[in-house]
Amino acid sequence: MSELGKGRPSPLLFAGVAALLFLVHSPYLKLPFHWDELGQFVPAALDIYREGRWIPVTTVPNVHPPGVMGVLALVWRIFGYSILVSRVTMLAIAALGVWLCFRLTLRLSHAVEPAYFAALFLVASPILYTQSMMVLLDMPAMTLTLLAMLLFLDQRYALCAGACIGLVLVKETSITTPAVFASWLWFKGRRREALYFVAPAAALAMWLFALRQSTGHWLGNEEFAQYNVTSALDPLHIAFAFASRTWFLFVSDGHWIGTVALLLGWRLLRSPEWNLALTVGLAQVIIVTVFGGAELERYLVPVLPVLYAAMATAALVYRQRWRWISAVAMLAFLVAGWFWNAPYPRPYEDNLDMVNFVRTNQDAAQYLEEHYPNARVASAWPFTAALRHPEFGYVRRSMNVLEAPGLHLAELKALGRENFDIAVIFTNKPPSRGRLLNLPLLRRFVRHYYDFAPQATREEIRTGLGFVPVRRWQRGDQWIEIYAPER
């Protein structure tokens, strides 16, 4: 039997995966930071790098543990701070995750073909394509979840518990994974080994205690707790979240093709090892669906390798020709999802809309720096943060900004017309107007829970502020517009 057939894929496969990921991301290795990168995780990493502060001071602290930020700070300590180093670091972690996805699928399916397809699905997934280069938590959590599952299946329980400590210090909701492992061993009568998995819970508890001591809140701040726990437990919000999670996992981006295979070949997934993997995935889906006000699709990234492994394995029920047709069709839909935007609001970070957003903001920032270097600029976050902090990659020096909570006319007027010289309006929320969610009932729902209200229009800005547009940039659905006083 070949090395692959024995379940020990060559390191050359990892090198090939890494080369593929770096190749398809090469245009974006110096892309300025986007949204939550510049709002939370890069500032938190910089606090560790510059001052050794594990609880952020330059951004609002919250419950997210400092694992990824600590790794990034260490890499910066070795190679120096830069966007390029940051993106390369994240891509290396993603490459390891894809390789581990191959190994897990091989272990579960006992066949090489599904392992290759599952890994390719993961590489082609629109959300993994963007998340693999971004300084966020969910892709590293995916990689550590895969490592922990492989160690558990190999009955290397102490090492698995160690991997789970790293996992929960990357993403707090990943506590479900060691909980599943502990329960699995406990009910099989292996009580001593089950107790190994108290260690990840203790590590997470220590982080929460340190957060409580520093901030006075177990989750870092009251607003975070209100939005992600209290408000998220509203029954209507939970129902909508489960519906959107189901759509994302089993329908969107060509997933429906894999779902058909699951329905036809589910009997191929009946083994204790599959039961364990699916339970880990299900537990993760439940916790990130019940908790989390934003319900971001990236929270499901740790689940995707198990989903793709199951879809690729279930497709073995087909004859070889149809397996290849099914897999190639799904890959085509996934790659198309890099560029195609669904007719309903989705976070920009789910595909290359993120790049369009960053590039339009970068164009506007550079124009302001060149033509209005001393102007007082009124806008909303994250554009204001991009202008204020050169380290995020948009400007060479900090600019004078006034930050409105949003881009509605009333919010801009509240800043005081006499206090700013320039206004900047951009697509800070995916639009629902003219799309499927423009139905009155659904529109009211998304505006209530997700604030999907249109930005101030040109006419509103002209009549309300006396400003007119002077420059506009647009890439795909993304646009940004600069306004100056009407002469």
Residue 305 preceded by cis peptide, ω within 30: no
Check residue 438 and give its pLDDT.
53
Quick: pLDDT tens for 308-321.
999 999 999 999 99
**pLDDT tier at 67 (50, 70, 90 boundaries)?**
very high
Query: Do 382 and 324 reside in the same domain of the chain?
Result: no
For the cut 80, the answer to whether the pLDDT of residue 259 exceeds it is yes
pLDDT over 70 at 165, yes or no:
yes
Cβ neighbours of residue 441 under 8 Å, at least 6 residues apart? Answer: none
pLDDT(4) > 70: no
Residues 321 and 367 in one domain: no
Residues 376 and 292 grouped into a single domain: no
Range of the domain at 403: 350-485
The predicted pLDDT at position 358 comes to 97
Both 387 and 274 in one domain: the answer is no
Weakest-pLDDT range from 19-28, 60-69, 414-423, 447-456? 447-456
> For the domain that residue 417 is a member of, what is the CATH number?
3.40.50
Q: In this structure, are 60 and 34 located in the same domain?
A: yes
Residue 435 within a domain: yes
Instruction: Give yes or no for a contact between 426 and 116, defined as CB atoms under 8 angstroms apart.
Output: no
**Residues 323-331: contacts with CB within 8 Å, 24+ apart?**
323/113, 326/257, 326/258, 326/260, 326/261, 327/117, 327/120, 327/121, 329/254, 329/257, 330/121, 330/254, 330/255, 330/257, 330/258, 331/120, 331/121, 331/124, 331/254
Q: What angle do CA 283, 286, 292 make, to 5 degrees?
A: 130
Asked if residues 122 and 128 have their Cβ atoms less than 8 Å apart, the reply is yes
C-beta atoms surrounding 88 within 10 Å: 16
193 and 303 housed in the same domain: yes
- What would the pLDDT profile of 79-104 be if each residue is shown by its tens digit? 999 999 999 999 999 999 999 999 99
Residue 265 lies in a domain: yes
Q: What is the arithmetic mean of pLDDT over 432-441?
A: 51
Residue 185: pLDDT above 90? yes
Torsion sign, CA atoms 304, 310, 311, 312: positive
pLDDT given for residue 1 in this prediction: 33
Within-domain flag for 1: no
Q: What is the pLDDT of residues 241-250, one digit of tens each?
A: 899 999 999 9
Average pLDDT for the chain: 91
Together in a domain, 207 and 354: no
Domain boundary among 340, 367, 388: 340
Indicate if 419 and 282 belong to the same structural domain: no
pLDDT of residue 222: 85
Q: Is residue 95 part of a domain?
A: yes
Q: Is residue 120 part of a domain?
A: yes
Same domain assignment for residues 354 and 332:
no
Two structure tokens written together for 461: 């800005």
User: For residues 452 and 428, what is the distance between their CA atoms, to the nearest angstrom?
Assistant: 9
pLDDT score of 463: 93
Alpha carbons 41 and 159: distance in angstroms, whole number: 28
Question: How many structural domains is the chain composed of?
Answer: 2
One domain, residues 26 and 86:
yes
Which of 340, 371, 396 terminates a domain? The answer is 340
Contacts of 148 (CB under 8 A, 6+ apart): 160, 163, 164, 167, 177, 178, 181
CA 76 to chain centre: 22
d(CA 295, CA 232): 9
Tokens of residue 425, six digits: 């309006």
361 and 270 in a single domain? The answer is: no
Chain centroid to Cα 475, Å, comes to 22
Q: In 3D, which of 389, 334, 308 has the Cα closest to residue 98?
A: 308
Pair of tokens at residue 385? 């943060």
152 within 8 A of 181, measured Cβ to Cβ: yes
Residue 3 domain flag: no
Shared domain for 328 and 407, answered yes or no, is: no
Residue 2 lies in a domain: no
- pLDDT value at residue 252: 95
Q: What does the pLDDT look like over 32-66, one tens digit per residue?
A: 999 999 999 999 999 999 999 999 999 999 999 99
Structure confidence at residue 345 as a pLDDT band (50, 70, 90): confident
Q: How many CB atoms lie within 10 A of CB 244?
A: 16
pTM: 0.93
d(CA 478, CA 362): 12
469 in a structural domain: yes
Q: Taking 80 as the threshold, does the pLDDT of residue 424 lie above it? A: yes
pLDDT for position 441: 54
CA 328 to CA 86: how far, in whole Å? Answer: 32
Q: Which of 315, 340, 365 is the last residue of a domain?
A: 340
